[in-house]
């Protein structure tokens, strides 16, 4: 599996969110090497507190009988809400762009047998770092600080 190729698609989603005036967090859902869902954080754009990138991606993927053969790619380590959704739907693998700017809930996911790959992707890290530095109030709102 070409993690870099798929993370670049998630990163493009994050850039779309940023261009729309929102937070630069993107996600895609992949099944058998094909993107079946994509999304980005739309909390600001939609005025919806639960419109995180992973949630938008899953909503766009639509109804499914199960998620057994899927991989979720996300540019930033998932928050507890998104991690709970990953566990609820039994998504078996999550590939994370970065966890430097937000540690998220990697240990929680691992404790629920979710296979985690942390890429430490420099593009994801720099984009999020710059966003947090330039928009601390919006970032704190997103993580409920």
What residues are annotated to the active site? 54
DSSP one-letter code for 32: T
Q: Tokens for 24?
A: 């630069």
70: helix, coil or strand? strand
User: Which residues on neighbouring strands pair with residue 95, listed in sequence order?
Assistant: 73, 117
Upper half-sphere CA count for residue 58 (Cβ side, 13 Å): 24
93-98 and 115-118 as β-strands: parallel, antiparallel, unpaired? parallel
Query: CA distances (Å), 133 to each of 14, 85, 121, in order?
Result: 17, 28, 18
């Amino acid at each position: 599996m070409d993690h870099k190729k798929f993370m670049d698609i998630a990163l493009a989603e994050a850039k779309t969110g940023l261009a729309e005036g929102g937070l630069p967090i993107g996600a895609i859902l992949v099944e058998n090497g094909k993107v079946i869902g994509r999304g980005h954080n739309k909390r600001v754009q939609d005025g919806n507190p639960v419109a995180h990138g992973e949630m938008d991606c899953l909503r766009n993927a639509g109804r499914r009988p199960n998620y057994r053969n899927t991989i979720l790619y996300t540019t930033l380590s998932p928050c507890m809400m998104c991690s709970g959704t990953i566990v609820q739907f039994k998504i078996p693998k999550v590939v994370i762009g970065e966890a430097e700017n937000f540690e998220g809930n990697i240990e929680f996911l691992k404790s629920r047998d979710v296979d985690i790959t942390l890429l430490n992707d420099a593009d994801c890290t720099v984009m999020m770092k710059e966003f947090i530095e330039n928009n601390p109030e919006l970032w704190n709102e997103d993580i409920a600080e």
